[in-house]
Chains A and B, each alone.
Chain A
Amino acid sequence: MKPLLIAVLVAAPSVALAQYPATPPPAEPLSPARFPPFQQTVLANGLKLVVVENHSQPVLSISLTLPAGSVTDPTGKEGLANMAAQLLTKGAGERSAEQISAAIEGVGGTLAADAGSDFLTINADVLSPQAQLAFDLLADVAVRPNFPAAELELIKTQTLSALQLELSQPVALASRFFLSQVYGTHPYARRPTPASTGAITREDLLAFQRRRLRPGGGLLVIAGDITLARARSLVTSAFRGWTGRAPAAAPFPRVPVRTAPSIVLVHRPGSAQSNIVVGNTTFGPADPQYYAARVANQILGGGPDSRLFLNLREQKGWTYGAYSRLDRPKGVGTFQATAEVRTEVTDSALTELLRQMTNLGFTPLPDSELAGARSALVGSFPLTLETATQVAGAVAQARLLGLPSDYLQKYRTRLSAVTAAQVRAASRVVMQTRTPLIVVVGDASRVYDKLSAIAPVSLFSPDGAPLDPAALTTRTIALDLDLAQLIPARDSFVVTMQGKPMGFQRTELTKSANGFEFREETRIASLMQQTTTVEMAGDASVRTVAQTGKTQGTDTHINISYAEGRVTGDALVSARPEFRQLTIDTMVTSGTLDDNVVQALLPALHWARDASWTLSVFSAGQNATQTMTLAVTGVETVQVPAGTFEVYRAQMTGGPATIYFMITTEAPHRLVKVSLVGVPLEFLLAR
């Protein structure tokens, strides 16, 4: 072996090559860039025109924005602006919906309209040789929409379905509750409901179009392979005769003033995660503190280099992502910090979010963090302006929000000048950490108590109806049991694996002084053995479960009791490939069954050919309640060692595996066979 020094010398290349650097290479000089050029003019009908020329690709993107967003929706007709926008392309001028989509998509283009809170926007994207077609279609849909009755009916059906779908989407739910609570009576709180959707008529849509879809105050932005002269001539001829200006919208009411923290908890039973939103309203778009607030937001939760991400994801591993943002509409905006976290850590994550927000406003800010956030925002600005469409979008946003004319040109300089003191001050303004609104969408039965310790909680169902917290602990899935069918009995099953006998299960149901007791003992070759004792009250509700066993040589156990709407105890269970020690302390609804009692209670169900039941089942092994479905899928004859029986075949789904139970059609119902889908294991009644 050579001495190290010689080895290094021998290995070194004889020609001097540039060394591999051990530290990040420094920035090279960058020639200063101005904001990409654009041209603007105002047409005779009051429509502002902005053109961003770029001939590198044969593409053209046109965007017409009018001050006709959902803030103009009449009370009781929430959703009108958006429905109108969706219907603009569903029949206009001489063209039907099919003809419009066939025309634009036939040339590989897109045409779509959408309404947000402040504005309604119609976008057309085409290859530049189709500019004429794009303007013809755009003018038709903006000026001559027909709102056909059949299309209105269809869009209503679709909107109702979408509202229904939203109830199952935690992110959408969290946002909906946040906006409605934080804005109160301000129009930004308005959201369509099934009732307001149903109330919208064709006359409403026509009136909306006549009043609101006017060129005055509107903005037409054209980006791509076109000149200003050609754009002007296309626009002038396409929109000939379109005049007027929408009446000014009523001034917005003030946003509610918050005086205390509060939590809105949206109950989503069985949710694996909690979606958390923490925030408040901020200020108008031209507020001078915007730049410092942007930097503050960047430091807190603007991206993967921010405190929330580094803390909640990288350090704690609680979430896939945690971010914050400043929304900047034409009126008063919002600050929101969001995280989607495991149910178990909901309260810890919320506390941490609040702590991080408070720290930013009240503790010193390291220079390196300030410099990092500023350079991130300044450096990323040009990266958002790569295509003509992006440039046009930035210009349009500045114009629509009424920002100063030099806003885009000065944006980077102003960000660069933000100081640490300004960041702290701005963060105290945009993060109201003493009075935040907190929205949590998750399984309230598992998080209600812990959240109540942080701030007062009001509980809602996803459709917006207030829920009584007592509902979390009352019977939600009432299982109708025929207790007379719970007769003391002993059964013995042979357990087969791929058809070969490998073990047994013995069960025994007895009446006790206070109710029932169910005992079972299972042994499957050397794989596992267990003994379970379940104590039940007189109404067959579970009191305690005690289980001891051995799985692949390791001792396992479950010791839990059910009382006052909670299940508590501990368990050591096999969670392949390892074993898991669990401390169990969870809210359960009183109709909840323990997974170990399902088998014992089967005879007490009201069996019939088309019977089905929804069961709420707590599994200590998973430390979770699952909603399962048990449904009779047929009647058949089975042969088992104990004899031949006519049985109901019932399928249980919703748990980790689908299970089939075969139970005699004749009362007293006796379990005859159990099989699992995907596992070659069967339990056959032996005697």
Chain B
Amino acid sequence: MLTRCICVALLFVTTRVAAQDPGKVPVETYTLDNGLTVILSESHAAQIVSVNVWYAVGSRDEIPQHTGFAHLFEHMMFQGSAHVKRAEHLQLIERAGGGLNGSTETDRTSYFETLPSNRLNLGLWLEADRMRSLAVTDSNFTNQREAVKEERRLRVENRPYGAAIFEGPQDLFDPESCFPYSHSVIGSMDDLNAAGTEDLKAFFDQHYVPNRATLVVTGDFSPANARALIEQYFGDIPRGSKAAPVACSQPFNTGARRKKLHDPNASLPAVLLMYRTPAEDHPDVPALTLIGILLGQRESSRLNQRLVRETRAAVSAQAVPGIFGPRRGPNFFLAYAIASQGVHPDSLEALLTGELARLVEGNITDEEVAKARNAYRASVIHSRQTTMDLAEVLQYANLFLGTSEAINTDFARYMAVSRNDLIRVAKTYFRPDNSLTIVVTPPPAQPDGATP
């Protein structure tokens, strides 16, 4: 056994510098006259190309009475534009053998197409057409509003813990001091019911403009051809107004908050513990990411070892920083556990807060820090394996870290995090007066023999 251990250790030492760091990603960034940022990253490993557009608009840009607009647009963007009929976007991509999707977070909306490389022109043209001429019509709006309501039923109302996860965390932030993060991404159905098509048009004209968008192309393409197509398709779309500033002056550490939720879909109680954390470009974010790994991700994590395996109080327990994506404003760190049958939520909560307290007390080993770094390293390498994932990482670097080049430098920040950094960061954020606790209870059990 001893011999083998030394061999593995040696292998580890001699190869990690050479082969384990993520390789350099080629990046070429430029801006069109209308303000559209373009990022190109070429690779010819497979005959695949990804077109990815991020608009720097999310639920944070919504004003009171207009919540849910950014997410609604994720649906509206597939309803046609000047030269594309309703549902034709999906049809054209699908029939080219491509894949597509969109996603909305608090801070950005993402649209992408992955295509065989001879259809780069199609992906670019479709994105350009909807950026220049989306059909914001009454019938499209009415129809997609219904689809959103259905999505809300599916994700929030009909799913165990849906309400706690999707509509719980915004209670960390107050509407008065931080409206951008005090409402959910899916928004209020009342607001959507009350909205008129004119309100939507105004929202589109304000946010879906080239100077608030970034276009990323990754994979198998010729940069000269891509540049020419991008200029031809996007070059004459008029520049829009500047982004309105988004205000969140909510102070941290203002007192512990609690909420009880009765969840008719749940069959087991759950406890969700949330702490406010800073924006993505803050120096403490790498440490929070590594804490998330060692505390609550995967089998060997503390929450799994202690809550699921040792005490058996939970059926699952995890920790995730920024579960709804990175933010340019305050975010939150989530630790949660779903109780085993018969375990009272109070005992579960005590165990969960106990694990957070251990971190704050400085109870972290160097091995755990090394493990968290290695896990992060592997996740970075894996996040670049497909053209689509790479495009998302480039967008992330550009929007949240300020430059696409950060894709090649940001990794070092995570490798530089020390054990002391983790302890200091845990002390800074994991304070009861910076937290929101949500306790989810299932309906009372039916007595035996009763008809459900």
Residues of B within 8 A of A377 (CB): 97
Partner of A170 from B119, B143, B158 at Cβ < 8 Å: B158
B83: which A residues are within 8 A, CB to CB? 21-24
Q: What 0/1 pattern do residues 244 to 268 of B give for CB contact below 8 A with A?
A: 0000000000000000001011111
The 8 Å CB contact of A30, one of B118, B154, B265, is B118
B-facing mask of A360-384, CB < 8 A → 1, else 0?
A: 0000000000011001111111110
What are the interface flags for A624-659 relative to B under an 8 Å C-beta threshold, 1 for contact and 0 otherwise? 001101000000000000000000000001100000
Query: Are A165 and B267 neighbours in the complex by a CB distance under 8 Å?
Result: yes
Given contacts A94-B1, A383-B98, contact A165 B160 (CB under 8 A): yes
Q: Is B150 an interface residue (CB 8 A)?
A: yes
Residue numbers in B under 8 Å from A89 (CB-CB)? 299
Q: Is A17 an interface residue (CB 8 A)?
A: yes
Could you mark each residue 202-244 of chain B with 1 if its beta carbon is under 8 Å from any beta carbon of chain A, else 0? 0000000000000000000000000010001101100000000
Chain A residue at minimal CB-CB distance from B83: A22
Contacts A168-B267, A320-B151: A382 and B116 contacting too (C-beta < 8 A)? yes
Closest Cβ–Cβ distance, residue A480 to chain B (whole Å): 13
- Are A101 and B16 touching (Cβ within 8 A)? no
Interface size class for chain B?
Answer: 35 or more
Q: Closest A-chain residue to B445, C-beta based?
A: A614
* Interface status of A488 (Cβ within 8 A of chain B): no
Q: Which residues of A contact B12 (CB under 8 A)?
A: 107, 129-130
Residue of B whose beta carbon sits closest to that of A476: B451
- Is B177 close to A, CB under 8 A? no
Q: Are B443 and A305 in contact (CB under 8 A)?
A: no
In the complex, the answer to whether B299 meets A105 with C-beta atoms within 8 Å is yes
Closest to A162 in B: B315
Report the minimum CB–CB distance from B34 to chain A (whole Å): 13
Which of A126, A319, A386 has most chain B Cβ within 10 Å?
Answer: A386
Given contacts A386-B46, A461-B452, A577-B193, contact A108 B374 (CB under 8 A): yes
Tell me which residues across on chain B come within 8 A of A371, comparing CB atoms.
95
Minimum Cβ distance to chain A for residue B19 (Å) = 5
Residue-wise, chain A 89-119 has the 8 Å CB interface mask toward B (1 for contact) of 1000010011001100111111000000000
Of chain B, the residue at the smallest CB distance from A412 is: B97
Closest to A275 in B: B158
> A57 to B23, Cβ gap below 8 A?
yes
Q: Which residue of A lies closest to B46 (CB)?
A: A386
Q: Are B451 and A160 in contact (CB under 8 A)?
A: no
Partner of A158, one of B233, B315, B374, B386: B315
Do A27 and B119 touch (CB < 8 A)? yes
Q: Chain A residues near B96 (CB, 8 Å)? A: 27, 375-376, 379
Q: Which of A557-584 contact B (CB under 8 A)?
A: 576-578
Give residues 281-327 of B contacting A (CB, 8 Å). 298-300, 305, 308-309, 312, 315
Evaluate contact between A161 and B315: CB separation under 8 angstroms: yes
Surface stretch bound by B, among A179-187, A244-252, A263-271, A527-535: A263-271
Q: Write the nearest CB–CB distance from B393 to chain A, whole angstroms.
A: 13
A30-B47 contact in complex given A314-B87, A317-B147, A476-B451, C-beta closer than 8 Å = yes
The B-contacting residues of A in range 285-326, CB under 8 angstroms, are 303-305, 310, 313-314, 317-320
- A552 is an interface residue with CB less than 8 A from chain B: no
Partner of A386, one of B48, B147, B299, B442: B48
Question: Closest chain A residue to B340 by CB distance?
Answer: A161
Q: Which residue of chain B lies nearest to A56 when distances are taken between CB atoms in the complex?
A: B45
A546 CB within 8 Å of chain B: no
Interface contact A25-B122, CB-CB below 8 Å? yes
B residues within 8 A CB of A320?
A: 147, 150-151, 153-154
Q: Known contacts being A127-B19, A304-B94, is A383 close to B99, with CB within 8 Å?
A: yes
Task: Look across to chain A and name the residue whose beta carbon is closest to the beta carbon of B308.
Answer: A158
User: What separation, in Å, do the CA atoms of A372 and B150 have in the docked complex?
Assistant: 28
Shortest Cβ distance from residue A134 to the other chain B in the assembled complex, whole angstroms: 11
Q: Is the CB of A132 within 8 A of B381?
A: no
- Residues of chain B contacted by A123 (CB below 8 angstroms): none
Closest residue on chain A to residue B150 by CB atoms: A320
Q: Given A30-B118, A272-B153, A476-B450, do A127 and B377 touch, yes or no (CB 8 Å)?
A: yes
Confirm or deny: B384 has a beta carbon within 8 angstroms of a beta carbon on chain A.
Answer: yes
B3-11, B344-352, B403-411, B419-427 - interface stretch: B3-11
Which A residues lie within 8 Å of B87 (CB)? Answer: 304-305, 310, 314
> B413 at the A/B interface (Cβ < 8 Å)?
no
Q: From A271, which residue of chain B is reached at the shortest CB distance?
A: B158
The complex places the Cα of A255 from the Cα of B4 at a distance, in Å, of 51
Cβ-based interface call for B363 (8 A): no
Residues from chain A with a CB closer than 8 A to the CB of B46 are 36, 382, 385-386
Distance A474 CA – B151 CA, assembled complex (angstroms): 33
**Nearest CB in chain B: distance from A658 CB, A:** 9
A residues 1-39 near B (Cβ < 8 Å) are 17-25, 27-31, 33, 36
Tell me the minimal C-beta distance from A496 to chain B in angstroms: 24
Is the CB–CB distance between B315 and A383 below 8 Å?
Answer: no
Does A157 lie at the interface of the complex (its beta carbon under 8 Å from any beta carbon of B)? yes
Residues of A within 8 A of B (CB): 17-25, 27-31, 33, 36, 54, 56-59, 89, 94, 97-98, 101-102, 105-110, 125-130, 132-133, 136, 154, 157-158, 160-162, 164-165, 167-170, 267, 269-273, 303-305, 310, 313-314, 317-320, 340, 342, 371-372, 375-383, 385-387, 389, 461-462, 467, 471, 474, 476, 576-578, 612, 614, 626-627, 629, 653-654
Residues of chain B having any CB pair with chain A under 8 Å:
1, 4, 7-8, 11-12, 15-16, 19-20, 23, 43, 45-48, 83-84, 86-87, 90-92, 94-99, 114-122, 125-126, 128, 143, 146-147, 150-151, 153-154, 157-158, 160, 190, 193-194, 228, 232-233, 235-236, 262, 264-268, 298-300, 305, 308-309, 312, 315, 338, 340-341, 367, 370-371, 374-379, 381-382, 384-387, 442-444, 450-452
